[in-house]
Amino acid sequence: MKNTNLILPGFHLSTLRKKPQTTSQKLAQALDKIKKHSISQLGECFNQFIPSQYLKTNQKGKFSRLRLFSKSNTFWTFFSQVLDVDGGCKEAIKKLQSHMVGKLKKIPSSSSSAYCQARSNMDSESLDKIFNHTTQLTNKAEKWKSHRVVVVDGTGLSMPDTPANQELYPQQKTQKVGCGFPSARALACFCLFTGTLLSYRLGNKKSHELLLLRDQLKTFSVGDILLADKMFCTFYDIYQLQQSQVDSVITLAKRKPKTSKNALKVLGKDDLLVQWDKPVYTKFTRYSKQDYDKLPEKFTLRQIKVTVKNEGFRVTSFYIITTLLDAQKYTAKEIADLYYQRWDVELFFRDIKTTMGMDVLRCKTPAMVHKEIIMHFIAYNCIRSLMIEAAKQAKVKPRLISFKATLQALRNWQTIINLTGNNVHEIRRLRQTLIDTISKSVLYQQLGRSEPRCLKRRPKPYQLMTQKRSIMRELSHRGKKRAKQA
């Protein structure tokens, strides 16, 4: 007997099946699902500096499943965390809960365990790629006589006292065990005129800043100028930079300044063309004997004496060594004025460490400490990008826009931006309003200002920890027992 298909009136086989979806329809549904699970619209504000391609879901392994703490959501939660005043994981979770309430979705747990695990799963390579992308803000930056000026300096960072941190970043030898904190040393290269952080290297107390700088030589391009203090005034490093067509403007150190009698040529008042002799190679030299043999016996440089007339400066005069030998194109006064701006690197570090709160880190393992530092640098460069846009609108230099005012505006604009949902046009409107607000935060310049370096606020009268906490706790208990017995 043949099988027959029973077709009832009003029913057709073609309508009983779902119509096959095209590839574009499937992709649109997947994107819509991702948007519904998104917990931050900050990415729309910084999409030109942090491309979404770096935050895509992985094909397999970690971040391969679409969950609340996906790769994108974890990154933007971490990003928002380093912008917060408190900066703790609990505050990040509370902000996430309030955001999910605004979206009428299920409130996640108050525990920060899932977020911390997701944060630890983020690989440093992806964060490094994102950071490198944020450094591309200096292509159209202001230049000094057609040169990009890269200012370099180092700083110290403190972190929680854990065995893992102590092993990689040991505390100072002068501190007793259990009484100090692990300390890291960071050396960073900044663009002088935009404040953008171009590159960095981390080390501990044994890491010399010169060695950290040599790991960042790829940061410099042909025609750049290195602006640094006397720590970087060495025959080897200045010569190597010049071979790469990178000039230097550095304070003289270690060597005695030349006089007009033993100079090659007198270019002007306190402006001499001098020659340095090749240094003697010793066991303390921080480069190989092969590199030493390649150095020339003589090196021609320019020495400029700068007399400080402003009150409040610690020195009355100092010497500048530079490879800019053309006295007509680069006058002594112009070079001195350029070196005067080197102090801005201290302000850049103040913005990151004090204003953003990176002075004391929170993570308890070296791997997470590294990620925390990278996230601060990414957020810092994004804030600088807003300042650059605001400066163009206000027609002022980017350094005249207040960093703290920009950070405050971004902190308060986050809540409003997150309430827009996925409305891209509304996000762009709010972003432009944010830029308009920042453009009005122009700093008032007080040239030659001098203030004493002292603290007015007295510290609280607590004793300092001079022994391990367990020992001091035992001594405290003994003292209380004796007081009761008496």
Comparing CA positions, the residue from 286, 157, 279 lying closest to residue 211 is 286
pLDDT at 369 over 60: yes
pLDDT at 6 over 60: no
Residue 421 has what pLDDT? Answer: 61
pLDDT (mean) for 413-440: 80
**Site of tokens 């680069």:** 330
* Helix pair 113-121, 71-83: axis angle to 10 deg: 110
- CA–CA distance from 58 to each of 64, 126, 201 (Å)? 5, 12, 28
Q: Rounded to an integer, what distance in angstroms lies between the CA atom of residue 178 and that of residue 166?
A: 10
Higher pLDDT, 104 or 179: 179
Higher pLDDT, 109 or 232: 232
Q: How much of the chain exceeds pLDDT 90, in percent?
A: 49
Q: What is the pLDDT of residues 338-363, one digit of tens each?
A: 999 999 999 999 999 999 999 999 99
Q: Rounded to an integer, what distance in angstroms lies between the CA atom of residue 88 and that of residue 77?
A: 11
pLDDT at 22 over 80: no
Q: What is the pLDDT of residues 48-83, one digit of tens each?
A: 778 778 888 777 778 777 677 888 888 888 998 898
Q: Rounded to an integer, what distance in angstroms lies between the CA atom of residue 5 and that of residue 2?
A: 10
Q: What is the pLDDT of residues 189-205, one digit of tens each?
A: 999 999 999 999 999 98
Q: How many CB atoms lie within 10 A of CB 152?
A: 25
Q: How confident is the model at residue 25 (pLDDT cuts 50, 70, 90)?
A: low
pLDDT at 5 over 50: no
Q: Rounded to an integer, what distance in angstroms lies between the CA atom of residue 323 and that of residue 426?
A: 51
Residue 55 has what pLDDT? Answer: 82
Q: Which domains does the chain have, with CATH numbers?
A: 26-122+402-442 (no CATH), 131-355 (3.90.350.10)
Q: How confident is the model at residue 9 (pLDDT cuts 50, 70, 90)?
A: very low
Q: What is the pLDDT of residues 250-267, one digit of tens each?
A: 999 889 999 999 999 999
Q: What is the pLDDT of residues 148-187, one digit of tens each?
A: 999 999 999 999 999 999 999 999 888 888 888 999 999 9
Higher pLDDT, 344 or 479: 344
Residue 332 has what pLDDT? Answer: 94
pLDDT at 18 over 60: no
Which stretch of 1-5, 91-95, 228-232, 400-404 has the lowest confidence by average pLDDT? Answer: 1-5
Q: What is the pLDDT of residues 305-317, one digit of tens each?
A: 998 876 666 667 8
User: Phi and psi dihedrals of 246, rounded to 5?
Assistant: -115, 120
pLDDT (mean) for 140-146: 84
Angle 137-139-145 from CA coordinates, rounded to 5°: 125
Which stretch of 23-27, 366-370, 430-434 has the lowest confidence by average pLDDT? Answer: 23-27
Q: What is the pLDDT of residues 400-411, one digit of tens each?
A: 999 999 999 988
pLDDT (mean) for 122-145: 85
